[in-house]
Amino acid sequence: MTFVSPPQTQAPAPLSVGGLVDYIKALLEEDSHLRQVWVVGEVSSANHHSKGLFFNLADLDGKATISCVAWRSQFAKISALPKVGEQVTVLGTVKVYPQRSSYQITVWQVLPTGDGLKALRLRQLKQRLESEGLFDLQYKRPLPTLPHTIAVVSSPQAAAWGDIQRSLAHHHPGLHVLFSSAVVQGDNAPDSIVAALDRVARDGRAEVVILARGGGASEDLDCFDDERVVRAVADCPIPVVTGIGHQRDESLSDLAADLCAHTPTAAALAAVPALADLESAHRQRVSQVQNLVIEAITAAQDDLDTLSQRLQRLRLDQRLNQQQERLNQLKRRLSQGVQVELRRATERCQALRAHLMTLDPDTVVRRGYALVKDDAGQLVTQADTLYPGQSLQIQLAQGQITVQVVATQADLHPPKDSP
């Protein structure tokens, strides 16, 4: 049996990087379908630049994105500039950029079609969590004044972790930092972040937690709008500081955190006070205490000098003599006042006694008058109340006698006011 060797095929010559990119560029830009293409998507991020507006369009299911640019020279012709969260239809041309080996749509026209599905879902989730009180300021916990241990939840490969380490080393050297690794981008990120926060809580050593991720496209930060992550931040028993993205970014996790610092570096600076600031404040307090002590000693010395001068001007025995003389004057005034009051009281008593003597019946009897009483001991003042044979007692100035009525005679001279 004879074996026939297969025909030899010549391998294609290798291309340079530029040659491959040029081939892809020609392939895409010469395609008639891509020279004028309509694309529907949701604006997931937008960045205004001096040259124009750079933005990303995301598919409705969020699984694909494409970069777009609307040059400033085209703004006057565009119906409405796209905004984050809007669903739009754009008309443009696919362009390839060899230096970055990337492609994007150069936009000619933008037609808004309403809120995007992603933005609508995010707004609904925010309203629901807000109604539960997850974002209320009254539930925000204050950060510890001087924590000794903090925890950082981030990706070990992320630039955010390196920024935090450098900031803490310069800002507060010697601080104990715990790192809880997490995936901070992609579909697995929410569960990973929740698990990392749970590890920190169960460890129990950290006094504050930093949840951090560096900047990126809006789609890269979607995990921080996930309901699981937001609830984990709100339910964390340790105060949470978020440093996610850039200053312009704000996620639902930022709203649920106890403090939002927006960037990883700012979060590190907010979590702990600067050691240099603490030393400066301590020196200021020491200086203030020293000044207060010096002022108090100076004031006390001034008071001592003043008292010493007063004692020198006025001898103590003279002060005692003056006080003794004043005491004697008060005693004399008191004695005189008592004598005057006693004399007045005596005179009043004598006047009252004389008045009572004039009212005493015995005094009247001693002047020659007599008191007539009936058998019941009642005074008799009218003759017509008596009857013959009735016994009467007559009280004289000395002794009394018993008499019997022989006859009665009416008053011949009745009082003038009698009828």
Q: What's the rounded mean pLDDT across residues 226-242?
A: 93
pLDDT digits (tens, 9 = 90+) for 71-119: 999 998 888 888 887 888 899 999 998 888 889 999 998 888 766 667 7
Write the CB contacts of 130 (distance below 8 Å, at least 6 apart in sequence): none
pLDDT above 70 as % of the chain = 86
Domains of the chain, first to last = 17-116 (2.40.50.140), 132-136+143-273 (3.40.50.2300), 363-404 (no CATH)
Instruction: Say if residues 63 and 47 touch (Cβ distance below 8 Å).
Output: no
Q: What's the rounded mean pLDDT across residues 223-228?
A: 89
Residue 110 CB neighbour total at 10 angstroms: 22
Q: What's the rounded mean pLDDT across residues 261-281?
A: 79
| CA atoms of 79 and 74, how far apart (whole Å) | 10
- Using pLDDT thresholds of 50, 70 and 90, give the confidence band for residue 419: very low
Token pair belonging to 234: 């709100």
Which amino acid is residue 289, in one-letter code? V
pLDDT above 90 as % of the chain = 21
Instruction: Say if residues 393 and 387 touch (Cβ distance below 8 Å).
Output: no
Which amino acid is residue 359, in one-letter code? L
Instruction: Say if residues 126 and 252 touch (Cβ distance below 8 Å).
Output: yes
Helix 227-235 / helix 189-203 crossing angle, nearest 10 deg: 10
Chain centroid to Cα 184, Å, comes to: 33
Q: What is residue 4's predicted lDDT score, i.e. its pLDDT?
A: 46
Q: What is residue 1's predicted lDDT score, i.e. its pLDDT?
A: 39
56 vs 367 pLDDT, higher one: 56
Q: What is residue 107's predicted lDDT score, i.e. its pLDDT?
A: 93
- Using pLDDT thresholds of 50, 70 and 90, give the confidence band for residue 310: confident
Q: Do the bridges between strand 102-115 and strand 86-97 make them parallel or antiparallel, or are there none, so unpaired?
A: antiparallel
Token pair belonging to 46: 């937008």
399 vs 11 pLDDT, higher one: 399
Summary mean pLDDT of the chain: 83
pLDDT at 416 over 60: no
| Token pair 């990120």 in the structure block, residue | 189
CA quadruple 261, 265, 268, 269: dihedral sign? negative
Write the CB contacts of 255 (distance below 8 Å, at least 6 apart in sequence): 126, 134, 135, 230
Q: What's the rounded mean pLDDT across residues 306-314?
A: 75
pLDDT digits (tens, 9 = 90+) for 153-174: 998 888 888 888 888 888 888 7
Which amino acid is residue 181, in one-letter code? S
pLDDT at 365 over 90: no
pLDDT at 208 over 90: yes
240 vs 287 pLDDT, higher one: 240
CA quadruple 31, 32, 36, 40: dihedral sign? negative
For residue 291, with 0-12 CB atoms within 10 Å meaning exposed, 13-18 middle and 19 or more buried, which class applies? exposed
Token pair belonging to 369: 């008058």
